[in-house]
Each structure stands twice: as structure tokens, then as C-alpha cells.
Amino acid sequence: MNQERKFHPRFFHIVHAGKLKPLESIAEAISVLNGAGYVWFDFLDPLREDLEPLIEPLSLHPLAIDDCIDEEQVPKIDDFPTNTFILFNSYDYIDNILVIDEIDFFLGKNFLVSVHHCHTGIKDFFGKLDESVARDIGNVRKGPDFLLHVILDYVVDRKFKAIEALQEELDNAEEIILKTPTLFKPETVLHLRKSLLTLRKSLFHEREVMVRVCRRDSPFITEKSIYHYRDIYDHLAKFFEAIEIYREMITSLMEMYLSMLNNRMTQVANRTNQVVRRLTLINTIFMPLTLLAGIGGMSEWSMMTGPENWSIAYPLFLVLMVVLGVVNYFALKVLEAKDRRDADSELEEK
């Protein structure tokens, strides 16, 4: 069970000089809490029993521990006497599927607890996270609130990649609609709309979390680190505005698709009408000729003109049929021209 969920705890002792010092166990990490610097407890996919040893030493609230285990929570911030609990989301857009993972933090005076629930790209996530921490080690040494900013900044940068991938899929859908609307699948737009609504909900709550952080509702976030968190808020606000624009694009795409589909159906209907018109014209011309041919075929024409005159009567009969066909044709053309003139005059009156 533990191997399937890839449970992996990490503990670091961070002082004002030097690098992150790895610690062997949770007991060792707790033992250095009252010394210099602070301790970073980092958990990947833990169970409740994995976090329970921290409840008493760090005075973590049991309900906040439950929120760490429940992955169906929305981003939020809760203040407790000895720590601040922050719930955030990280995004991945893999194979046209939006994956939202949860990342939780307990920020105290001399500790930071981070709890990750990462279902995809685990090595990529933690490898680049460690690179970000090492790259900004100068700020990380200043305190747990600075380390929290470094992690949140890394998570927010990953959000941009997921949002950018969504934008590319929107652009591809628009291109397909304009070039080959028959190949476009409407369920693609519905899938994108669902993903955008999910992102909007998450970003809305995360933005509210950062508002509370920036106005210093938490006593564990110092004045010096507030400026860093304001930068994160600016990024989230821009992401939220982008999601709103993409939602409008979804509506435009559906309207464009329906318009292109209606135009195509209209073209097909016009072609059908032209074919029917031609068939009707041919049928109208040849109906009287068919009648005459039937009469002539029963030898009634020879009876009327005399059997001895067939060599003259039948050529005259054929000429009569040709003349009748030509008269019918021009009569139909005159009627069509009159109908067009009447239609044009009605449009001018309107």
C-alpha cells in the first residue's frame, strides 16, 4: 500500500548560514525545533497516521490534518494560535486532461510543513522544486515564510504552463472550425469548458487566500516577505482574468461552429433546390411531349390523317412536339424572370 502511494517524507534543518541539512527521521526533526533556524517537514502522499506525530509537538489542529488527507477541498487559509494552515492547488495538463493536485502547508514560527498529493510527474515536480529552493537559498535561510513563498512561486509557475496548454488547445479548435468544420468535435469545446470552470473555481479561492496573506492576517508571515507574496497575487489575478477571457472564447467558438454548420447546411439545401428546379423544368417540358408521344404511339395520329399520309403526318407530328417543347421552355423562362422582378421589387420596398 505504501509503495503504491509512494509515501516519501523529507526533513531539513535550515539555519541562517549554510545549506539545507537533511535529517534522518521525524523524531530528529522535532528535536531540533527549539534550536537555531527552523525545520522543513516535507511529505508526499501521506496518510493521517503519518502526520499524527506532528499534532502535539507543533500544536497542529486535527481538523487541519483531516483537510490534508481529504483531496476534495477547495483552496483556503485558516489561522490557529501556533500556525497558519494554507491549502493550495497545483495544475498539470497532460494529454488534453487537466489534473489538479493538492498541496497543503502549516506555517509556524520555526517550522514549515508541506504536504503534497502529486498524482502525475512526481519526479519532475520534486526535482524542479528542489532546484528552485537551491537557487533561492539566500531567501530560504531568512525564515519559513520565505521558504513558503519559494514553494508557492514554483507552484504558480507550473499553473502558467497548464493554462498555456489550454490556450493552445483553444487555438487549435478555432483553426479546425475555420478550415474543416466537419472534422470538429463539439465535445472538445465542452471538455475545455469544464476544465476552465474547474480552474476558475480554484483560482478564485486561491486569490482570496493571497488577499488574506498580503494584508497580514497571519502573524507568521513577516513584513519583509509580504512583497514577495504580492507578486504571487498579481500572477493569480492575471491567470483569473485569462480564464475569464478563455470562457468567452468558448462561447464564441460554439457560436462560430454553429454558424459554419448552418452555412454549410444552407449551401447543401441550395444545391438540392437547384437540382429539384432542373428536374422540375425538364419534367414540365416533357410532360406534354410524353402525352403526344403516347397518342401517336397508339396510331391515333395516322387514323386522323389517314394511313396513306403517314410519311408526311409523322414528321409533322415530331415537328409539333419540338415546337411545343421550345414554347414551354421559353414560357417557363419568362415566368421565372417575372418572379425575380417581383422578388426584387419587394426587397426594394422593404
CA atoms within 13 A on the CB side of 6: 11
Residue with cell 429539384: 276
Q: Report pLDDT digits (tens) over 176-213.
A: 877 877 777 778 888 888 888 999 999 999 999 999 99
How far is residue 69 from each of residues 76, 106, 115, 118, measured CA to CA in Å? Answer: 15, 14, 9, 12
pLDDT band at 309 (very low <50, low <70, confident <90, very high): low
Which pLDDT value is given to residue 204?
Answer: 93
Summarised one tens digit per residue, pLDDT across range 260-282 is 777 777 777 777 877 777 777 77
Note the pLDDT of residue 320.
78
Note the pLDDT of residue 71: 77
- State residue 3's pLDDT score: 40
**Rounded Cα–Cα distance for residues 267 and 139 (Å):** 65
Please say if the pLDDT value at position 76 is more than 80.
yes
